Amino acid sequence: MTVDNFLDIYPFSLNKKGEELCGDKVKFLKTDKAATIVLSDGLGSGVKANILATLTTEILLTMLTAEVPLEEVLKTIIATLPICQVRNIAYSTFTIIQVNCETNSFTVTNFDNPAVIYIRNGQRMELQTHMEEILGRKISLSEGTLERGDFLGAISDGVLYAGMGVALNFGWGWDNITTHVEQVLAQKPRTARTIVHDVIEKTYSLYQGEIGDDASFVGIYVRRRNPLMIFTGPPLDEERDEDYVNQLLGFEGRKVICGGTTGNIVATYLGETIEMDLSTIRKELPPIGLLSCIDLVTEGILTLSKATEYIKACHCDITRLKFDNNGAYLLAREILQADSIVFLVGQQINEFYQNPLLPKNISIRRSLIEDLVQFLRQHQKEVSIDYC
């Protein structure tokens, strides 16, 4: 995957009416080299289906991440899954999507789930598919190469058959779902979340609110990466201040400064004075500042701490971020809008903010950032820390 491309992955599920647990399970893992997505559909619904789907997903993702050969993975899962004696079908079906982020190539492995949806240039694409038999079970295998603007999605039966029985309807159907995705791509902002949510909302509508089967959809949308650099804290070596300012100013993406001393370092380099936007001041938060070439300038520790609270409260979902035109909200919004984030963290310790219970080489700033980074990584953000 080219440096400025981002694999935007988003899953969403509807539980069958009356069930607290979903009988489908979607899980994915993304690294610098590869992304692996697994959607499993447990037979039936409720607790039993949820356990079967979860078991299937965990086994597949764990073995694939450990780079066990696909054939061995499939043999393990097929040998593990029981067969329903009444219906003569597996107790859990699955779809696996694997993307090589270095070559853009992908493979789809499908066991009794609906076919994946693949859109390029706004139009559906047919994948070359062949069948293999492993331990008596037929597995569908497909492959292709992703380009920017492509969408690849996997659905469970609950989406496919939405609306079945209404006016002699046999369900929404794969062709109609694919056409709907094409329309969403043509009419709405292009993110995986937008596409998936729109399809799931339509699924809910077709069920008329009475969800007849667990319905899941997970999509990958290939788009331009939104990068962000956050410079916070003065560097240990004052003689290298200019080097780090140049690193920030030369960054191709959004640029944020957190900290008064850090802001002054950059302002001095630019030959400017930081102007304050007093409309953003709050009882517990200082106002933001204004500098040319910088997208946001905030105070440091207090703002970082409050922004982390906001991000955790909305579960890294920007649509749930509660608006308030203050520095912490604006910082949280910058972070949530970004796909890849570089924290440039100065390690010169401000004694005013230092916890006396911590060793001198561990600052509150560093602790705050490492906590935030861990949370962001759990929510699909690509994050790195460069200490200076």
Work out the pLDDT band at 365, boundaries 50, 70, 90: confident
d(Cα 384, Cα 388) in Å, to the nearest integer? 13
pTM of this prediction? 0.83
pLDDT at 80: 77
The length of the chain, given as a count of residues? 388
pLDDT at 265: 95
Q: What is the CATH number of the domain that holds 32?
A: 3.60.40.10
What distances in angstroms separate CA 388 from CA 33, 100, 236, 239, one per listed residue? 27, 33, 6, 12
Across the chain, mean pLDDT equals: 89
Considering the domain architecture, whether residues 176 and 148 belong to the same structural domain is answered as yes
**CB neighbour class for 354 (10 Å; exposed up to 12, middle 13-18, buried from 19):** middle
Lowest-pLDDT range, 15-19, 305-309, 347-351?
A: 347-351
Q: Is the pLDDT of residue 236 over 80?
A: yes
Lowest-pLDDT range, 51-60, 127-136, 352-361?
A: 352-361
Considering the domain architecture, whether residues 219 and 240 belong to the same structural domain is answered as no
pLDDT at 349: 67
Considering the domain architecture, whether residues 152 and 91 belong to the same structural domain is answered as yes
Lowest-pLDDT range, 70-74, 116-120, 169-173, 243-247?
A: 169-173
Range of the domain at 52: 5-223
Q: Estimate the crossing angle of helix 46-65 against helix 70-80, to 10 degrees.
A: 160
Tell me which H or E stretch contains 182.
Answer: helix 174-187
DSSP secondary structure letter of residue 250: T
pLDDT at 361: 44
Work out the pLDDT band at 352, boundaries 50, 70, 90: low
Q: Is the pLDDT of residue 256 over 90?
A: yes
Considering the domain architecture, whether residues 170 and 44 belong to the same structural domain is answered as yes
pLDDT at 85: 55
Considering the domain architecture, whether residues 218 and 244 belong to the same structural domain is answered as no
Considering the domain architecture, whether residues 231 and 219 belong to the same structural domain is answered as no
Of 202, 223, 244, which one is at a domain's C-terminal end? 223
Work out the pLDDT band at 84, boundaries 50, 70, 90: low
pLDDT at 359: 47
Q: Is the pLDDT of residue 183 over 80?
A: yes
What string of DSSP letters covers 288-300?
EEE-TT-SEEE-S
Considering the domain architecture, whether residues 173 and 239 belong to the same structural domain is answered as no
Q: Residues 20, 86: contact at Cβ < 8 Å?
A: no
Considering the domain architecture, whether residues 40 and 119 belong to the same structural domain is answered as yes
Q: Is the pLDDT of residue 88 over 80?
A: no
Domain count, the chain: 2
Work out the pLDDT band at 7, boundaries 50, 70, 90: very high
pLDDT tens track for 91-112? 789 999 999 988 889 999 999 8
Spatial neighbors of 268 by CB under 8 A, at least 6 apart, are none
Of 156, 188, 223, which one is at a domain's C-terminal end? 223
Considering the domain architecture, whether residues 19 and 74 belong to the same structural domain is answered as yes
> What's the average model confidence in pLDDT over 270-274?
95
Considering the domain architecture, whether residues 216 and 270 belong to the same structural domain is answered as no
pLDDT at 3: 54
d(Cα 248, Cα 255) in Å, to the nearest integer? 7
Considering the domain architecture, whether residues 202 and 284 belong to the same structural domain is answered as no
Residue that has been written with the tokens 């962000």 in this structure: 228
Work out the pLDDT band at 375, boundaries 50, 70, 90: very high
Of 181, 197, 223, which one is at a domain's C-terminal end? 223
Considering the domain architecture, whether residues 165 and 270 belong to the same structural domain is answered as no
Strands (E), 151-269: 151-155, 215-224, 227-232, 254-258
What phi and psi, each to the nearest 5 degrees, are found at residue 144? -175, -170
Work out the pLDDT band at 87, boundaries 50, 70, 90: low
